[in-house]
Chains A and B, each alone.
Chain A
C-alpha cells in the first residue's frame, strides 16, 4: 500500500471510530456485550487483515502504519480485539497459513504460560493453560504459540469453540482477559506451522507489548485532550483553572511524559519488531507504561470530582491505561530485561549499544 494511501486510510479509520465508538457503545462493552455492529464496520473496511500482504488477500499496511492505526484504536478506546486480530493474521499468514476470518487473538501472552505440542500420526495435540487471553471468550480463532519436547516452536490455529474456559475475567478497563484451558486439543497437521525463529523465550508476549504501547500513546493523547479542554473551561476563583500555575505545571510535566513515550513508540514503530527487535519494544513498553501512570494521575487531578464520575468519559481511557501498562510485560519486566542485557555487556558497551540500536 502506498504511503499516501495509508495516511488517508488511517484518517478515515479515525473518523469511523469517532463516529461509531460512542459512550453508549463503550458502556455496553464494559458490561461484557460483544460489539457486533462495530466489528462489522471495521471488517467492511478490511481492517482485520490490514497487516497481511496484498498478494495474500490483505491490505498490505506496513507495520509502522499499522502501529499508527493502533494509536487511533487507543485514542478512541475501541472495544474490540482488532489489533490482536491484525497481528494474529500477520503472524499466521507470514508463517504460511491462510487468512483467518472473524475476530482472532493470539496466546500465550503472559511471561509464564507455556503450551506444549506433541505430534502424532494424524496431527498434533496441544496442552496447557493460558491466562489473560485478550477477548479469549469472544473470538472465533486462536493462534497459539507452542513448543515441542525438543523446544522447537510452532504456531497452531485452534477454533475457539474447541477450547475450555477456566475463568471469564476482565482487566480494570472491563476488557475481556480470559483464562483458557487447552486440554488435549487435537489439531490437524495443516493447522500447525513452524514458528519464526524470531520468537524468543516469552513467545508472543512482545507482540502484546507492541500493541499496548501504541494503544497507550493514543490513550494518553485522549486523556490529555480531555484535561486540556477541561482546564480551559472549568472556572474557579474567577478564572479558568488552566490559568493557575500549579495546573499548568502538572499538565506540562504530563506532556513531557507523553512526548517521551511517543518518541519511544515511534522508534519501535520504525524498528523491525517482526524480525525480532526486542530492544525497541522493551524501551517503548517501559517508557510508555511509566508515562501512562503519570498522565492518568494528572488528568484525573485536573478534572476534580467530575473525572471520578461514570458520567465523564475520562475513565474509559484511564482505566485502559492502567490495564495496558501491565499487559505484555509491565515496566519492571522490560526494564529488567534491558538492564540484564546492558549489564552483561559492561559499562563501556552501553553507549555503542544505545547508538547501535538506533
Chain B
C-alpha cells in the first residue's frame, strides 16, 4: 500500500511570514466591512476584492516577475489560499485564473499569450472560465464534440459548452475542443484554446442554479476565430494539459474549506461550554480538517518540486469534498435551526447558504465516482 505520496512537510519561515501579511490584508478588508464572510466563498465573484488582493500581491504569486508574478513558492501561495478561504473572502473573480488558467498559460501558452494575459491576471483585472463540460460530455470529458478547424492564421471553433462558471463576467475561456476526428484513441486529437469572451460568434446564456444564483452558463460558438498564438501547446496535447491541470484544481484547500465559515458560526453558536455531543462533533471536524490540511500542503510541496501528483490530488478531493458535504448535516443535528437566508443571525444564514450549495461540492471538478476510479487505478485495480 505504498501507492500514494503524502510526504511530511513543514511550512518554511517565508510561508509563515506570508501568512502574517495576508492576515493583515484580510483583517483590513473585514474591518472596513467589505465582505460578508459567512455567506461568501471562493466562488463568490467580486472584482473589486480581486483588484485589491492583486494590488497587495496575492494573485499570480508563483509566476515570474516578467509576467507580473511575485516569484513566490507554491507553499507561500498555499498559505495565502488557505487564509483567503478561512476568512471567507469573496475570491471568485480571480480564483480560476490564478489557480489553473494562469499556470496553464505559463506552461503551455505562446509568448504573446503570456506577455499580454498574465500581467493582467496578476493585476486582478483579467478573469477566466473553464470550457470543458458539454451537454453530452460531463464525467466523460473525452467525449467533447466542440470542433476546431484549421483556417488561415488560426482556427475556428464551432459547438457549445455548458456549466461554464462565470462565462458572463470573465474575459477568457479555456476551451477544450476536438482538432482531429475521433479515431481509436479518444484522448488524442483534443486541444485547448484561449478564447476571448467578446469574440465574434460567441453567445452566452445564463443557467440559474438551484439557489437562484447566476453562476454558470451555456456558451455557444459559431465560427469563432482563434489566432494560432492562442492555442495551448501543440494541437493534440489537450488531454495531457487537462489532466495535468486537474492536479492544481483538485488538491487545493478549496476542496475541503468551502464551509469553514459555517464551522466557525457553529462554534460560536454552541458556546464555550458545549454539550458532550456537540464537543465530540466539533472535535471530529477539527481532526478531519487537520488531516486534510496536511495532505493538501504535502501536494503543494510536490507541485513545488515539479511533480504531477494527479492521483493524490484526486484522493484529496474525494476525501475533502465528502467531508464538506457532511458538515451541514452534522451542524443541523447539533443545533436546532430552521435556517434561512433572511435571518439576521449569521449562523442561520451560513447554514442556509451551505445547504443550498452543498450538492455542487461533489460535482464541480469531477465527481467522487470518477475520482474513485482514478484512485483504484493508482491502487492497481484497473
The distance from the CB of A260 to the nearest CB of chain B, in whole angstroms, is 4
CB <8 Å contact, B3 and A286: no
- Known contacts A245-B373, A346-B267: does B8 contact A264 (CB below 8 Å)? no
Contact among B276, B287, B298, B382 for A287, CB-based, below 8 A? B287
What count of chain A residues pass the 8 Å CB interface test?
54
**CB-CB contacts below 8 Å: A312-338 with B:** 331-332, 334-338
- Known contacts A242-B381, A259-B315, A347-B264: does B283 contact A342 (CB below 8 Å)? yes
CB <8 Å contact, A338 and B291: no
Most buried by A among B1, B279, B292: B1
Most buried by B among A253, A259, A287: A259
- Known contacts A221-B1, A247-B381, A335-B284: does B373 contact A270 (CB below 8 Å)? no
Please report the C-alpha to C-alpha distance between residue A286 and residue B263 in the assembled complex, in whole angstroms.
Answer: 18
CB <8 Å contact, B379 and A287: no
Query: Is B270 engaged at the interface, CB distance under 8 Å to the other chain?
Result: yes
Inter-chain contacts of A348 with B (CB < 8 A): 264
Contacts beyond the supplied A263-B6, A282-B287: 16 A-B pairs with Cβ under 8 Å: A228-B379, A228-B380, A232-B381, A248-B372, A252-B376, A258-B1, A266-B6, A287-B291, A335-B287, A336-B283, A343-B274, A347-B267, A347-B268, A351-B260, A355-B82, A358-B294
Inter-chain contacts of A290 with B (CB < 8 A): 284, 287
- The residue on B at minimum CB distance from A331 is B284
The distance from the CB of A317 to the nearest CB of chain B, in whole angstroms, is 12
Query: Is A200 engaged at the interface, CB distance under 8 Å to the other chain?
Result: no
CB <8 Å contact, B294 and A267: yes
CB <8 Å contact, B8 and A266: yes
Please report the C-alpha to C-alpha distance between residue A58 and residue B199 in the assembled complex, in whole angstroms.
Answer: 73
Inter-chain contacts of A252 with B (CB < 8 A): 315, 318, 371-373, 375-376, 379
- The residue on A at minimum CB distance from B272 is A344
Inter-chain contacts of A224 with B (CB < 8 A): 1
CB <8 Å contact, A339 and B279: yes
CB <8 Å contact, B283 and A248: no
CB <8 Å contact, A338 and B287: yes
- The residue on A at minimum CB distance from B375 is A252
Please report the C-alpha to C-alpha distance between residue A286 and residue B3 in the assembled complex, in whole angstroms.
Answer: 24
- Known contacts A247-B381, A340-B279: does B287 contact A283 (CB below 8 Å)? yes
Inter-chain contacts of A338 with B (CB < 8 A): 282-283, 286-287
CB <8 Å contact, A262 and B272: no
- Known contacts A256-B318, A259-B319, A264-B287: does B279 contact A335 (CB below 8 Å)? yes
- The residue on B at minimum CB distance from A332 is B280
Inter-chain contacts of B378 with A (CB < 8 A): 255
CB <8 Å contact, B1 and A260: no
Query: Is B243 engaged at the interface, CB distance under 8 Å to the other chain?
Result: no
Please report the C-alpha to C-alpha distance between residue A125 and residue B371 in the assembled complex, in whole angstroms.
Answer: 60
Query: Is A28 engaged at the interface, CB distance under 8 Å to the other chain?
Result: no
Which label, helix, strand, loop or mixed, suits the secondary structure of the B interface?
Answer: helix
Query: Is A54 engaged at the interface, CB distance under 8 Å to the other chain?
Result: no
Please report the C-alpha to C-alpha distance between residue A262 and residue B6 in the assembled complex, in whole angstroms.
Answer: 9
A-B pairs, top 8 by smallest CB distance, nearest first, are: A339-B279, A339-B283, A335-B283, A338-B283, A248-B376, A252-B372, A252-B375, A347-B264
Query: Is A7 engaged at the interface, CB distance under 8 Å to the other chain?
Result: no
Inter-chain contacts of A249 with B (CB < 8 A): 369, 372-373, 376
25 A-B pairs with C-beta separation under 8 A = A242-B376, A245-B373, A249-B376, A251-B376, A251-B381, A252-B315, A253-B372, A255-B379, A259-B295, A259-B319, A260-B319, A266-B8, A287-B291, A335-B279, A335-B282, A337-B283, A338-B283, A339-B274, A343-B272, A343-B273, A343-B279, A347-B268, A354-B286, A355-B82, A358-B290
The distance from the CB of B18 to the nearest CB of chain A, in whole angstroms, is 12
Inter-chain contacts of B272 with A (CB < 8 A): 343-344, 346
Inter-chain contacts of A347 with B (CB < 8 A): 263-268
Query: Is B86 engaged at the interface, CB distance under 8 Å to the other chain?
Result: yes
Most buried by B among A256, A331, A355, A357: A256
Inter-chain contacts of B284 with A (CB < 8 A): 286, 290, 331, 335, 339
Please report the C-alpha to C-alpha distance between residue A253 and residue B378 in the assembled complex, in whole angstroms.
Answer: 13
Please report the C-alpha to C-alpha distance between residue A214 and residue B265 in the assembled complex, in whole angstroms.
Answer: 34
Inter-chain contacts of B279 with A (CB < 8 A): 335-336, 339-340, 343
Inter-chain contacts of B19 with A (CB < 8 A): 355
Please report the C-alpha to C-alpha distance between residue A339 and residue B334 in the assembled complex, in whole angstroms.
Answer: 13
CB <8 Å contact, A286 and B287: yes
Query: Is A261 engaged at the interface, CB distance under 8 Å to the other chain?
Result: yes
Query: Is A152 engaged at the interface, CB distance under 8 Å to the other chain?
Result: no
Please report the C-alpha to C-alpha distance between residue A261 and residue B294 in the assembled complex, in whole angstroms.
Answer: 11
CB <8 Å contact, A350 and B291: no
CB <8 Å contact, A354 and B267: no
Inter-chain contacts of B278 with A (CB < 8 A): 339, 343
The distance from the CB of B285 to the nearest CB of chain A, in whole angstroms, is 8
Please report the C-alpha to C-alpha distance between residue A342 and residue B282 in the assembled complex, in whole angstroms.
Answer: 8
Inter-chain contacts of A243 with B (CB < 8 A): 381-382
CB <8 Å contact, B264 and A264: no
**CB-CB contacts below 8 Å: B274-317 with A:** 274, 276, 278-284, 286-295, 298, 312, 315
The distance from the CB of A284 to the nearest CB of chain B, in whole angstroms, is 8
- Known contacts A248-B381, A336-B280, A347-B268: does B292 contact A260 (CB below 8 Å)? yes
